[in-house]
Amino acid sequence: MTAIPVVIVSTSALIRGGIQQIIVQPETRVDVVGMFASFSELSAFLKAHQARVFIMDDSLPKGVNLSKELKRLLEAQPGLAVLLILQRPTPSLVQKMLAIGVRAILHKDDDLQRTLNQAIQLAMAGGVTISPRVSHLLEKQQALPENLEQRDVDVFDLLTDGLQPKEIAAYLGVERKAVYRSIKKLTTVYDAQNLPQLVVLAQQHKIRPLRKRE
C-alpha cells in the first residue's frame, strides 16, 4: 500500500514537529512530504509536488484570512483533503469550514494520537470527521439574546480570549467592519459603555455568559 503524502502548516515549528510525530507511525502509512509556516510556502510547494492530505492548526500569520486562503487552496488543489486542528472553535467558524469543504475539524485538546490518524484515513475515503469536543460545542449552543446572531457571540468569545478585532476578522473569515458591527450590537444589548467594559463585565460574570465554557 502506497504511503499517503501529507503536508503540514503551522506558524509554530514545535507544533509542526508534534503533528509529524503523531501521524508518522509504521501502521499509518503516512509520508510527510513538506512542513511549512505559511500558505504561500505551501502553495509554492504544491505547484511542483503532490499531496493528498493537508493538516493545519489555527495559528495564522498576521493579515491571513483563513477562509479565503482555504478557498483559494482548494480551487487550485481540488483533490486535497484539509484537516483543521482548532484552539478556539466557534460555531460560525466550524460551519464555514465545513461549507468550504474541510474534511476534519479537531480540537487541540483531543486525543490527537488517536483522532488525527483516524481522520486522515476517513478523509481519504471521502468522509468527514468532527471531534466530540467540537460536536459538543455545536450541540450546546445557547439561545441567543434578542438582536444577536451566532457570529456576534463568536466575536464576543474571541474578544474575551484576548484577540483583537483585526485578528478575529481574519480568524472568522469576515471583513473587519463586520466585527465592529458585532461589537456595537453587543455593547448595546448588554448596556456597556464601550468594549473594555463589556469584556470586564463578562469576565466578572456580571452579564449572562453567551456560551458555556468547558
Q: What is the pLDDT of residue 138?
A: 73
Within-domain flag for 162: yes
In a shared domain, residues 32 and 60: yes
Within-domain flag for 24: yes
Domain count within the chain: 2
Nearest CA-CA partner of 58 in 76, 79, 73, 39: 39
In a shared domain, residues 38 and 127: yes
**Mean of pLDDT over the chain:** 86
> Residue 160's pLDDT band (boundaries 50, 70, 90)?
confident
In a shared domain, residues 24 and 120: yes
Answering whether pTM is above 0.75, one says no
Count Cβ atoms below 10 Å from residue 151 Cβ, excluding itself.
21
Q: What is the pLDDT of residue 211?
A: 47
CATH number, domain with residue 34: 3.40.50.2300
The rounded radius of gyration (Å) of the Cα atoms in the chain is 18
> Residue 193's pLDDT band (boundaries 50, 70, 90)?
confident
Tens of pLDDT, residues 45-66: 999 999 999 999 988 777 788 8
Domain that holds residue 163: 150-203
Residue 177, pLDDT above cutoff 60: yes
In a shared domain, residues 122 and 198: no
Q: What is the pLDDT of residue 212?
A: 42
CATH number, domain with residue 191: 1.10.10.10
Which of the residue ranges 37-46, 54-63, 133-142 would you say has the lowest mean pLDDT?
133-142
In a shared domain, residues 42 and 66: yes
**Three-state secondary structure call for residue 153:** helix
Tens of pLDDT, residues 94-107: 888 998 999 999 99
Nearest-angstrom CA–CA distance, 153 and 58: 19
Tens of pLDDT, residues 11-28: 999 999 999 999 998 888
